[in-house]
C-alpha cells in the first residue's frame, strides 16, 4: 500500500523532499507528527536509507515514545536503529562516550531538582549564605538554571551582577559546579551545555561520534533555545539534510528560553532551504480557524500562513459577559451542564483555559459549586500552592494554636530569627513540661535552655497570634486577614525573594486572590467566622470526585499547558485587558507572544469555542471596569453569536492595563509604605 495515498499535496511534498535543508511550517492541527513519521518511513522504505543514519529529535519523552510506537506499527521493526530522542537524551548518549575529555568519568550521575536543591542548601548552610534571609535554595536553583539556559557559567554570571543577592548567588553557583564535578554529577541544564562544550573544544572527537547521522529531523522547532540551535548547527555541519518542523505562531515559551527567531533566521543560516507550508487543518471548523487567522495576522513578525479546513462554517463563536468573575464562571458551568443534558456529551469533551494561575481559584470553586467533576492539568490546585498553604497555616494557628503542623510551617516564615537549634530546645521543653509548643513559646524567656534572643522573638510571635485571635473573633474576616498580611510582612517577603520576577509576582497575586476570596465569602456570609471559613476551605480541598470517573472530567489548565491538546468544546475565560493579554507581558513588550498564546487557545477547539469575561473585577473594595481583550476585537463580528462591544483604541488598552495592575497591587504598595 502506498503510504503517501492519504496525504495532501503539501504533506506529500514535505515527506518526499529529503535532500538539503527543509523547513516545514506546520500550522495547528495540520498533521505535522504524521509528516515526520512518513518522512522516516519514506527514507527507509523508498530510499533504502539505513535506519542508523536517521536522527529525529523532539522535546518530550512522551512525544518520542509516541513516534517510536507509530513507526513500529508502520515498519514492523524495520525502524530499529533510528535514533528517536529528546535533545537531552541525545546529549546524554554523546556525553557517555566523550565526557572524559572534560574531566568527568563516563559513569556520571544526573541529579534531579531535589538533589540539586539539596546540594545548594548544604553549600548555603556551610558558608552562612542564608543568615540574613536574602536568598533561599529554591530561588538560587532557579537563578543557576536560568543562567545555564543561556550558556552562562559562574564566572560570567558573577561579572554581570552588582547586587549583594546576585553576588551571593554567583558564589554559590561557582561552589555548586565544583561540588557537582567532585561528585561526578551533572544536572539537567549541564547536559546540553557540556555537549556543546565538547563540540566547541573537541570537534574531531564529536565529528567521529556524529558522522553516522545523515538525515536530521527536529519537531517543535519553534521551542528550541540558543544552545539547542547551536547543537543543531554542529550536528548538521557535514550533512545538511536538516528538516525542521514548527510553527512560529505557536511559539509561546519565550519565558523559558525558547527563541522564535530560530525560525526567522533559518533561511539566512540555510539559504538553500526548501520552505513548505502545511495550512490545511484537520481539527477545527472554518469559523474557529478564521477567528484564529484574524487574531494572529495582527502580529507583524511572523511567517505568513493561513489555516483552512474542509469543515466549512460550523457553530459561531460564543461570548459570555457577566457582572463579576463569580457570575462569569456560573454562566460557564451553566452552559456546560445544559449542553451535557441536551446533547448527552461527556465532561471530558470540555476544557476551560485561562491565562494565569491565580484565575484557577474562581474556576475551581465554580465547578465545585456546580458539582462538575474536573481535573487540573499541568499545574497545582490553588489551595495547594505554597504561598496559599502558608497563609492558611497562619489562620489555622490563630484558630487552634495547638496545631503544631501548621505552627512549624509558619514559625520562621517569613524569617524572624528562630533557628533550628532554638526550636529544638523549645521542643525539649515541651517534652519535659508536657505543654504544647505554642504555650512554651509564649513564655519562652522562662526556659533557660532557649537562647535569649530567640526566646524574645518567640514571645513576640505568639503575641501577634494571640492578638489576632481576638480580632478574628470580633471583626470582619477580610479586614483582619489584610492586617495580618501587613503585620507579618508576608507580601513583602514574597516580593523580596530572589529568582524570576514573574514567579514572585505570581505568588503575590495568588495571596491577594486569597484575600479577594475571603472578602467575597464575608460578603456572602456576613455572620461567618474563622472556624466556618477554614471548614469551607478544608471541605473544598478534599476531592469529592468519584475515583471511577477520573476519565470523565472537565479539564482545566493554563493556556500554556493546553498546547498540543484538542477538545470538542473549549472555554477561554477571563478575556479582558490586563488579564489577557497579561499586563506584565505588555510592559515587557511581549504582545506578540501573548497574541500567539491566544492563537494556541483558539486552535484547541474542534467544534465550539466560547469566550467569557466579567464587566468588573473587584480589587480591595474598588470595582475596576474591564474592557474586552484586544484580541477579541480583532475577530470579525460575523463569526460571533453575540457581538463583542468594547473600546479598541491604544489609549484605552494602555489605560485599562495600568488600572488593572495598579488596583491589583495597591495592597502591596500600601504595605511597602507602612
Residue 490: its H or E element: helix 490-495
For the question of residue 32 being annotated catalytic, the response is yes
For the question of residue 131 being annotated catalytic, the response is no
How would DSSP label each residue in 602-660?
Answer: HTTEEEEEEEEEESEEEETTEEEE--B-TTGGGS-GGGBSS-------HHHHHHHHHHH
Strand 567-572 to 605-614 pairing: parallel
Picking from 375, 351, 364, 330, the residue whose alpha carbon sits closest to that of residue 602 is 351
Active-site annotation holder among 130, 189, 219, 387: 219
Question: Which residue stretches of 381-476 are H helix?
Answer: 386-399, 404-410, 420-433, 437-442, 452-474
Picking from 216, 247, 536, the residue whose alpha carbon sits closest to that of residue 369 is 536
Strand 350-354 to 109-111 pairing: unpaired
Q: What is the Cβ-side half-sphere exposure of residue 43, based on CA atoms within 13 angstroms? A: 29
For the question of residue 219 being annotated catalytic, the response is yes
* Alpha carbon of residue 542 to chain centroid: 24
Neighbour tally for 544: CB within 10 Å? 9
For the question of residue 208 being annotated catalytic, the response is no
Angstrom CA distances, 577 to 51, 327, 614, stand at: 51, 18, 11
Active-site annotation holder among 53, 79, 210, 250: 250
How far apart (Å, rounded) are the C-alpha atoms in residues 133 and 121? 13
Active-site annotation holder among 385, 563, 604, 617: 604
How many residues in total does the chain contain?
674
Neighbour tally for 546: CB within 10 Å? 10
Active-site annotation holder among 136, 143, 189, 220: 220
Active-site annotation holder among 33, 161, 179, 469: 33
Q: Both ends of the chain: CA-CA distance in Å?
A: 76
Angstrom CA distances, 491 to 245, 382, 388, 487, 581, stand at: 44, 17, 12, 10, 24
Dihedral-angle region of residue 666 (phi above 0 means left; psi in -120 to 50 means alpha; beta otherwise): alpha
For the question of residue 604 being annotated catalytic, the response is yes
For the question of residue 33 being annotated catalytic, the response is yes
Q: Which grid cell sits at 193?
A: 551545555
List residues with catalytic annotation: 32-33, 219-220, 250, 604
Amino acid at each position: 500500500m502506498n503510504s503517501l495515498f492519504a496525504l495532501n499535496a503539501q504533506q506529500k511534498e514535505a515527506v518526499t523532499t529529503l535532500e538539503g535543508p527543509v523547513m516545514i511550517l506546520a500550522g495547528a492541527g495540520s498533521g505535522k507528527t504524521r509528516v515526520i513519521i512518513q518522512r522516516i518511513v519514506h527514507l527507509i522504505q523508498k530510499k533504502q536509507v539505513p535506519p542508523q543514519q536517521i536522527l529525529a529529535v523532539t522535546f518530550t519523552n512522551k512525544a518520542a515514545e509516541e513516534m517510536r510506537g507509530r513507526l513500529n506499527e508502520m515498519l514492523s521493526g524495520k525502524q530499529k536503529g533510528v535514533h528517536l530522542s529528546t535533545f537531552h537524551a541525545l546529549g546524554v548518549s554523546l556525553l557517555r562516550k566523550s565526557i572524559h575529555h572534560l574531566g568527568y568519568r563516563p559513569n556520571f550521575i544526573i541529579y534531579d531538582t531535589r538533589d540539586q536543591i539539596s546540594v545548594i542548601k548544604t553549600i548555603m548552610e556551610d558558608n552562612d549564605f542564608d543568615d540574613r534571609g536574602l536568598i533561599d535554595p529554591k530561588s538560587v536553583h532557579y537563578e543557576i538554571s536560568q543562567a545555564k539556559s543561556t550558556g552562562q557559567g559562574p564566572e560570567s554570571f558573577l561579572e554581570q551582577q552588582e547586587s549583594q543577592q546576585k553576588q551571593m548567588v554567583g558564589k554559590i553557583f561557582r561552589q555548586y559546579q565544583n561540588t557537582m564535578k567532585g561528585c561526578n554529577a551533572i544536572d539537567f541544564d549541564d547536559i546540553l551545555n557540556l555537549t556543546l562544550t565538547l563540540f566547541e573544544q573537541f570537534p574531531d572527537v564529536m565529528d567521529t561520534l556524529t558522522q553516522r547521522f545523515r538525515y536530521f529531523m527536529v519537531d517543535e522547532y519553534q521551542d528550541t533555545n540558543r544552545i539547542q540551535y547551536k547543537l543543531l548547527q554542529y550536528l548538521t555541519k557535514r550533512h545538511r539534510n536538516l528538516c525542521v518542523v514548527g510553527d512560529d505562531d505557536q511559539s509561546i515559551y519565550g519565558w523559558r528560553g525558547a527563541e522564535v527567531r530560530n525560525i526567522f533566521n533559518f533561511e539566512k543560516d540555510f539559504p538553500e532551504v526548501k520552505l513548505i507550508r502545511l495550512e490545511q487543518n484537520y481539527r477545527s471548523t472554518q469559523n474557529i480557524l478564521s477567528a484564529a487567522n484574524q487574531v494572529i495576522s495582527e502580529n507583524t513578525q511572523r511567517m505568513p500562513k493561513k489555516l483552512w479546513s474542509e469543515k466549512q462554517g460550523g457553530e459561531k463563536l460564543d461570548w459570555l459577559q457577566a457582572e463579576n468573575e463569580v457570575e462569569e464562571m456560573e454562566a460557564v458551568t451553566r452552559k456546560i451542564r445544559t449542553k451535557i443534558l441536551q446533547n448527552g456529551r461527556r465532561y471530558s469533551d470540555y476544557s476551560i483555559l485561562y491565562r494565569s494561575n491565580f484565575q484557577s481559584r474562581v474556576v475551581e470553586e465554580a465547578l465545585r459549586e456546580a458539582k462538575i467533576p474536573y481535573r487540573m492539568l499541568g499545574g497545582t490546585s490553588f489551595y495547594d500552592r505554597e504561598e496559599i498553604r502558608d497563609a492558611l497555616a497562619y489562620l489555622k494557628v490563630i484558630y487552634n494554636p495547638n496545631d503544631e503542623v501548621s505552627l512549624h510551617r509558619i514559625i520562621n516564615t517569613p524569617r524572624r530569627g528562630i533557628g533550628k537549634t532554638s526550636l529544638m530546645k523549645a521542643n525539649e521543653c515541651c517534652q519535659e513540661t508536657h505543654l504544647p509548643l505554642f504555650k512554651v513559646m509564649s513564655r519562652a524567656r522562662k526556659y533557660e535552655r532557649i537562647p535569649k534572643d530567640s526566646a524574645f522573638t518567640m514571645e513576640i510571635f505568639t503575641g501577634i497570634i494571640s492578638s489576632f485571635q481576638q480580632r478574628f473573633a470580633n471583626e470582619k474576616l477580610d479586614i483582619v486577614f489584610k492586617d495580618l498580611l501587613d503585620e507579618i510582612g508576608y507580601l513583602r517577603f514574597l516580593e523580596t525573594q530572589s529568582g524570576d520576577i514573574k514567579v514572585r509576582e505570581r505568588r503575590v497575586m495568588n495571596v491577594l486572590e486569597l484575600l479577594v476570596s475571603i472578602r467575597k465569602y464575608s460578603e456572602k456570609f456576613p455572620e461567618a467566622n474563622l472556624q466556618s471559613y477554614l471548614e469551607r476551605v478544608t471541605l473544598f480541598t478534599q476531592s469529592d470526585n468519584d475515583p471511577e470517573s477520573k476519565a470523565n472530567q472537565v479539564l482545566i489548565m493554563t493556556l500554556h499547558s493546553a498546547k498540543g491538546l484538542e477538545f470538542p468544546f473549549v472555554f477561554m475565560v477571563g478575556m479582558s485587558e490586563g488579564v489577557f493579554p497579561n499586563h506584565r507581558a505588555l510592559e515587557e513588550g511581549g504582545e506578540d507572544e501573548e497574541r500567539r498564546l491566544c492563537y494556541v487557545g483558539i486552535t484547541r477547539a474542534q467544534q465550539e469555542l466560547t469566550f467569557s469575561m466579567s464587566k468588573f473585577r473587584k480589587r480591595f473594595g474598588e470595582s475596576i471596569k474591564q474592557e474586552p481583550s484586544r484580541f477579541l476585537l480583532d475577530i470579525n463580528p460575523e463569526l460571533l453569536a453575540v457581538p463583542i462591544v468594547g473600546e479598541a483604541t491604544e489609549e484605552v488598552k494602555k489605560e485599562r492595563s495600568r488600572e488593572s495592575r495598579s488596583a491589583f497591587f495597591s495592597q502591596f504598595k500600601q504595605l511597602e509604605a507602612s
